[in-house]
Amino acid sequence: MKLPAIAIQNRRFTLVVMLLLVTLGIVSLMTMPRSEDPQFTFPATMVRVVYPGTNPLDMEKLIVDPIEEAINELDDIRVLKSDIEDGLAVIRVEFLYGTDPQDQYDDVVAEISKIRDQLPDDIPVLAIDRISPIDVSIIQIALMSESQSYNTLRLTGEKLEKRLERIPGIKKATTEAFPEQQLQVRADLARMQELGIGVEDLISAIQASGVNLPGGHVLAGSRRFTVRTSGDFKDIEAVERTAVVSTPGRVVFVKDIADIAFADALPTYQARFQGTRSIFITVVQRKGSNIFTVMDGIKETLDQFEQELPADINIGIAHDQSESVHERVSQFFNSLIQGLVLVGLLIILFLGARSAIVIILAIPLSVFIGLGWVDLAGYGLQQMSIAGLVIALGLLVDNAIVVTENVHRFLRKGYPRMEAAAKGASQVGWAVISGTLTTILAFLPIMLLQTGAGIFLRSMPVTVILTLLASLIIALSLSPLLASVMLKGHDSKPPLLLRGLQAFTHGPYKAMLSGALRYPVLILMIAVATLAGSIMLAGTLGVSMFPKAEKPMLLVNVELPEGSSFQQTDDAVRQVEDIVKDFPLVRSVVSNIGKDNPRIYYNIFPKRQVPNYAQLVINLNSGQLSEVEPFVETLREEFNRIVGARVVVKELLQGPPYEAPIAFRIMGDDLNRVLTVSRDIEQIIARTPGTVNVDNPLDNPKVDLNITINRDKAAMYGVAISSIDQVIRASLVGVPVSQFRDHSGEDYPIIVKGQSSGRDPQIEDFDRMMVKSASGQLVPVKQLVKLEMQDALPRFQHHLTERMARITADLKAGYQAETVTNAIRAELDQYEWPKGVSYQVGGEQEQREESFDGMTKVLLIALLGIFAVLVLQFNSFSQPLVIFTAIPFAVTGMILALWFAGFTFSFTAFIGLTSLVGIVVNNSIILVDYSNQLRKNGMELREAILEAGQVRLLPILLTTLTTIGGLLPLTLSGSVMWAPMGASIIGGLLVSTLLTLFVVPVLYSLLGKRALD
């Protein structure tokens, strides 16, 4: 290994290169994007279709089936699922991880474009969106006013929206939560009946007069002129003066039979902030931008805009992601700094100030260089990358400790500083490279994991790998250089703790190691018994996926019985607001009536938009689970007292999106059978201990007013079926017939509708409906149709184009999804399933099985990769097997640590286990590598083992202690996300190190001689 000698000989060049790399890192730290959660891409697309007044079965036939059939022809589909309810269909397609999200989105758009003519023409909303965790609103602004009209609020909001979109780093701003403005032509059906005019005549007249048809061009001599025809309506008077019927001596204009005015459409989505009527402006930042820089620009714009507002319009902040980003990043950096201090203290106490300076300098330099490379790799600062830094913190000093301690050993032998630095670093150089490679190989497969969890976590292994590579370069170049300058010769007095450790090494440890070598079978039996006991204990741990998010925010979903009016939903929401507002933990309340809140969390996607549904966002003063979980239980008890509404409190979860912790899909084509079974399964889930908020989409009784047209009678009168449908729709909710553009360029739909006795359509309106026959006579619609009440399905779902009902449930505090799901499955397996109906498990268990399957493959790949590196280094099969014995004992330590701390074996604990595989073998590598060197120099096997154990005890203990010290603050922080991972690594390191100091020498004594020979 010549690199240390080259670095020392060319010290000026070495320093300049390091300075350049560190400067790049510092610049990256100041400029790299910051966010709360990873900004990762997700190959999924969501199609949302709104078609008011259409029942779920018709939505399935007219909308969902054609779209699913088109999308299902695409390649690489992982899952295709649809939610179908009254007037709304949401189709979601997820592609295989690793495929290009933009290409897949483009393919979905192209397929739907091909079949657009098969879908109804009058669909008001057909939106195709990429499901991207990046497109989360970083701020939700409320424009509040009780006195101003919605149109004024909308215009004000759109003005603010345009200003916000000019700020660098903003991708888009959106204004929502207001009713659509329409130019309504309210037909006087009684007056029209007197004049013998049908609704069809009114519709045809406005459609014919509002067509904007280009006139072409005309030549006049040598000049060419574009011909502009009358085009669409320029003002309301033009609509009023449109002739509906024109006969000699009589012209009936629109104004004679209808009132024309601008009005709000029937409410579909309204909002309040802190109890005040509001509209929302949400802002999405561009990928790669810094949230704090963007937020500074937003707040400056809001301050200026607020000064221009009328006195009765106020601005409120319903959501500000930068607050939680600042808190999350600060917490992690605090853990990082505390870990740095602990590591520094340990090194000073054991190696003294001079050695400590050499080693501790490696920490910030490796972090800065690693951050520069992380930035170049396209990742930003968020919880995953900072967690990667915390994991790397304890590991990156390992190399510097091994190198510096070995240089110190050569100095104590009397070598000159330069020679001691070069020889000391060179002697352990390959062992350091091998140890770093094994650690990197443990994290590399996590980086390549093609699952939702793998993509979510990816920036963490990337950060660990790049930071470790930086520490390796520093350990083999800068550390020897600094050691040649900073460290004293053999006459320097070791620190007190080092003297104590040396006394322990040459006394008790030597004696214990000698005893272990005399009784190898006993030592191995003790080790195997310890391992077997821990494996038996593992069954009591339980398995989980990702924990709760610890965000100071709750979602409250309010659902009324099918058929409830928008006003009834609003009344229920006001009851929830009254209950919530008095709790001291509550900071603010955001209410959305008729629709989900705009997207403010990366794994929650708004999709419901129906009159009997509402969602509230409750912002809290604290996200600590010790405060939030009792508060949630209190809210659930309070909400149970609300009559006529189902109120569900939802806590946010970490990790990739899934429906709920507990989810079962009841599959079957016969929806009546599925309904019957789903009610039984709902009861089974509800009575299982630990479940709460059980939801069965089919079991929400719905009654429709079914209209049966008497086709024989209609044919006798010469009335087209489509005319009856058109008259009914126009009379109740209105029919769009044309567009009106005002002087400012705003477009408004012109809606022809009947004059109802109330704001909402009433059943009495059927008495006034008339349809025109072939002879020109008006026929009462009620003569041609039969009205009857009919039970109907409220909503259902598709999974891979098959009909189903998805029954979901949340978990009470203290329960695990695996235990509860398995208890439910045991009952379902005893259930007598009717023919054609079956069940599938979804929720956390489905996600966990997929992710853990991927992680098992990752672990095997890591083990094989590490084994290959060790075979290359030692040119042996038996010695890598000796080194690998550290891994099972690391598992022992991990199980014991999780059991003592009360954690489950979560996904992050699995990450800790995979990390351990690379970390714990390093100690064994150092021990075996030095034993081989001693034996090559002629030392006997037993003496070589004893000497290697004593010489390498200090670096082994120090690297273990510094790794534990680096992770200790994060582990003790109480984070439900990261504490299990920290506990896994710390416990695994402690036990494996203890056993490595005895078991590895024992196995080496049994297998090592043959291996070296």
Concatenated DSSP letters of 746-786: -EEEEEEEE--SSSS--GGGGGG-EEE-TTS-EEEGGGTEE
Q: Is the pLDDT of residue 940 over 50?
A: yes
Query: Once rounded to an integer, what is the mean pLDDT over residues 465-474?
Result: 91
Q: Which residue type, as a one-letter code, is found at position 919?
A: I
- pLDDT for residue 507 is more than 70: yes
Residues in CB range of 79: below 8 A, 6 or more apart: 93, 94, 799, 800
Kindly report the number of other CB atoms within 10 A of residue 486's CB atom: 19
- pLDDT tens digit string along 846-868? 887 777 777 777 778 878 888 88
pLDDT, average across residues 997-1012 = 76
Report how far residue 600's alpha carbon sits from residue 602's, in angstroms, rounded to the nearest whole number: 7
589, part of any domain = no
Average pLDDT in the 93-106 region? 88
* CA dihedral of residues 777, 781, 786, 790 (deg, nearest 10): 160
Residue pair 377/466 in contact (Cβ under 8 Å)? The answer is yes
Output the pLDDT for position 616: 96
b (16+ CB within 10 A) / e for 831-847: eeeeeebebebbbbbbb
pLDDT on residue 271: 94
Q: Specify whether 785 is located in the same domain as 901.
A: no
CB atoms within 10 A of CB 546: 23
Domain-embedded: residue 320: no
Q: How many domains does the chain have?
A: 2
Identify whether 67 is part of a domain: no
Contact 758, 741 (CB under 8 A): no
Residues 662/843, Cβ–Cβ less than 8 Å? yes
Token pair recorded at residue 260: 């024309």
The mean per-residue pLDDT over the stretch 205-231 comes to 77
Tell me how far CA of residue 548 lies from CA of 138, 654, 814, in angstroms.
Answer: 20, 6, 12
CA distances from 99 to 42, 44, 77, 218, 379 (A): 9, 10, 10, 53, 19
Q: Output the pLDDT for position 319.
A: 94
What is the full DSSP assignment across 429-494?
A: HHHHHHHHHHHHHHHHHHHT--SHHHHHHTHHHHHHHHHHHHHHHHHHTHHHHHHHHH---TTSPP
Q: Specify whether 1002 is located in the same domain as 902.
A: yes
pLDDT of residue 295: 92
Q: What is the DSSP string of 684-737?
A: HHHHSTTEEEEE-TT-S-EEEEEEEE-HHHHHHHT--HHHHHHHHHHHHT-EEE
Residue 571 above 50 pLDDT? yes
Same domain as 894, residue 786: no
Residue 475 counted as domain residue: no
CA 405 to chain centre: 44
In-domain check, residue 107: no
Domain co-membership, 1004 together with 883: yes
Both 881 and 995 in a single domain?
yes
* 646-651 and 691-695 beta bridge pairing: unpaired
The residue type at 112: I
Instruction: Average the pLDDT over 227-231 and give the result.
Output: 68
Which helix H or strand E contains 907, and what residues bound it? helix 907-936
In this structure, are 903 and 997 located in the same domain?
A: yes
pLDDT of residue 188: 87
Q: What is the pLDDT at residue 756?
A: 65
Question: Which region among 88-97, 99-108, 334-343, 504-513 has the lowest average model confidence (pLDDT)?
Answer: 334-343
**And the tokens for 823?**
């208890």
* Domain CATH code at residue 205: 3.30.2090.10
Domain end position, chosen among 792, 818, 835: 792
Q: Which of 792, 817, 835 is the last residue of a domain?
A: 792
State the CATH number of the domain containing residue 528.
1.20.1640.10
Q: Residue 680, exposed/middle/buried by CB under 10 A (0-12, 13-18, 19+)?
A: middle
Work out the number of other CB atoms within 10 angstroms of the CB of residue 147: 10
637: which 2 tokens?
A: 């008890």
Asked if pLDDT for residue 392 goes beyond 90, the answer is: no
Residue 41 three-state SS: coil
Mean pLDDT along residues 26-47: 83
pLDDT band at 231 (very low <50, low <70, confident <90, very high): low
679 CB-near residues (< 8 Å, 6+ apart): 696, 698, 699
Residue 14 · residue 477 · CB < 8 Å: yes
Instruction: Select the more confidently predicted residue: 872 or 283.
Output: 283
Across residues 885-911, what is the average pLDDT?
Answer: 84
Q: Which residues pair with 45 in a beta bridge?
A: 93, 130
Whether residue 1003 sits in one domain with residue 882: yes
Q: Is the pLDDT of residue 758 over 80?
A: no
pLDDT > 90? residue 345:
no
Pair type for strands 747-754 and 44-50 = unpaired
Q: What is the pLDDT of residue 1013?
A: 47
Looking at 792, 819, 845, the residue that finishes a domain is: 792
Determine the average pLDDT of the residues in 731-743.
83
> In this predicted structure, which of 852-861, 898-907, 923-932 has the lowest mean pLDDT?
852-861
For residue 948, tell me if it sits in a domain.
Answer: yes
HEC readout, 147-162:
CCCHHHHHHHHHHHHH
pLDDT at 660 over 80: yes
Tokens of 734: 């209105």
Task: Domain of residue 706: give its range.
Answer: 181-212+702-792
**Residue that the structure tokens 């195709």 belong to:** 128
Among all chains, which residue has been given the structure tokens 């708004």? 606
Q: Residues 223, 224, 227, 228: what is their CA dihedral angle, to the nearest 10 degrees?
A: -80
Tokens of 49: 């279709």
Does residue 490 surpass a pLDDT of 60? no
**Residues 791, 828: Cα–Cα separation, whole Å:** 28
The 10s digit of each residue's pLDDT in 662-702 is: 999 999 999 889 989 999 999 999 999 999 889 888 877 77
- Could you tell me which of 955, 893, 986, 984 has the C-alpha nearest to residue 346? 955
Tell me whether residue 269 is in a domain.
no
12: exposed, middle or buried (Cβ count in 10 Å: 0-12, 13-18, 19+): exposed
Greater model confidence, 829 or 122: 829
Higher per-residue confidence, 770 vs 1013: 770
In a domain, 757, yes or no: yes
Q: Identify the bridge partners of residue 839 per DSSP, sorted by sequence position.
A: 666
